[in-house]
Amino acid sequence: MGDLDELLRDQAAYYRAVAGEYDRAYESEDLRSLNELAEGLPIHGDVLELACGTGQWTRMLAARGHRVTAVDAAPEMLAIARERVAGLDVEFVQADLFTWRPPRQFDTVFFAFWLSHVPPAQLAAFWRLVEGALRPGGRACFVDDGPGQQAAEEVLAGQAAPAVRRRLEDGSAHRIVKTFADPDRLTQTLEGLGWSARVRPVRTKLVVGSAAVI
Ligand SMILES: C[S@@+](CC[C@H](N)C(=O)[O-])C[C@H]1O[C@@H](n2cnc3c(N)ncnc32)[C@H](O)[C@@H]1O
């Protein structure tokens, strides 16, 4: 069993290193069309976006008129996101989501491709963070990889949490946490944590969900 803190440090370092090539790898036709999927989510009012990355979703949210506070640990990601949303109403925060506490409350907490990077041992604490960030009546909305994505990943055994290996264009290899949420199981897990959740599979590889505190 590896060390969880070390795995999380590797994950954070990977995302700092991949920032410059992230959009080439992930701004696929699929991801662009996910903007349409977000229209089916109950995103409203002031939005807190967790793990905003290069700001693909941040821009979409702000362009729809939401005031967005976007958090990410990687300064390299945030620099790209800042350029992408120039002129829109977005505040960026550089912080580690495993220790950060939201300074105020929001109507929506949104996270895309982040939940799968939260180790199972940190899941309850993560959802407490989300709960603390929501105003009464607020909702969490998320998009992520589902079980269908697992075959495309290099899954690692013997890690402190479910993990995969990712490679940069220079060939270097990095470990990150990666869970592949089954929609029904995730719904049950969230109910066990005190949330009323709706999680559904989308296009075989993805899950889209929303949740409110019971
Ligand atoms: C898969 S990317 C998702 C980015 C964006 N949401 C998207 O869908 O394109 C994961 C993001 O999590 C960020 N991240 C990794 N570890 C973090 C941590 N401990 N705290 C905050 N952000 C972190 C990375 O910098 C990266 O931008």
Structure confidence at residue 28 (pLDDT): 56
CA nearest neighbour of 208 among 150, 144, 131, 139: 144
Cβ-based neighbours of 141, under 8 Å, separated by 6 or more: 38, 41, 42, 43, 108, 109, 110, 111, 209, 210
Ligand 1, from 56, 77, 116, 141: best to mutate by most atoms within 8 Å of Cβ? Answer: 77
Structure confidence at residue 34 (pLDDT): 63
Query: How many Å lie between the centroid of ligand 1 and the Cα of residue 51?
Result: 4
Count: domains in the chain: 1
Residue-number span of the structural domain to which 41 is assigned? 4-213
pTM of the model: 0.96
Cβ-based neighbours of 101, under 8 Å, separated by 6 or more: 129, 132
- Looking at residue 197, which CATH number applies to its domain? 3.40.50.150
Query: CA separation (Å) from 150 to 57, 105, 110, 129, 181?
Result: 23, 34, 23, 27, 10
| 175, 13 Cβ separation under 8 angstroms | no
Give the separation between CA 15 and CA 142, rounded to whole angstroms: 19
Q: In sequence order, what are the beta bridge partners of 175?
A: 165
Query: How many Å lie between the centroid of ligand 1 and the Cα of residue 15?
Result: 7
Query: How many Å lie between the centroid of ligand 1 and the Cα of residue 67?
Result: 20
Structure confidence at residue 133 (pLDDT): 98
Query: CA separation (Å) from 89 to 106, 121, 126, 153?
Result: 15, 35, 26, 36
Query: How many Å lie between the centroid of ligand 1 and the Cα of residue 1?
Result: 24
Task: Specify the DSSP class assigned to residue 139.
Answer: E
Structure confidence at residue 26 (pLDDT): 72
- Coil vs helix vs strand at 146: coil
Low-confidence ranges of the chain (pLDDT < 70): 1-2, 27-34
Structure confidence at residue 35 (pLDDT): 74
Of ligand 1's atoms, which has the minimum distance to the CA of residue 96? 20
Q: Does the beta carbon of 51 lie inside 6 Å of ligand 1?
A: yes
Angle at 66 between CA 53 and CA 64, to 5 degrees: 90
Structure confidence at residue 7 (pLDDT): 97
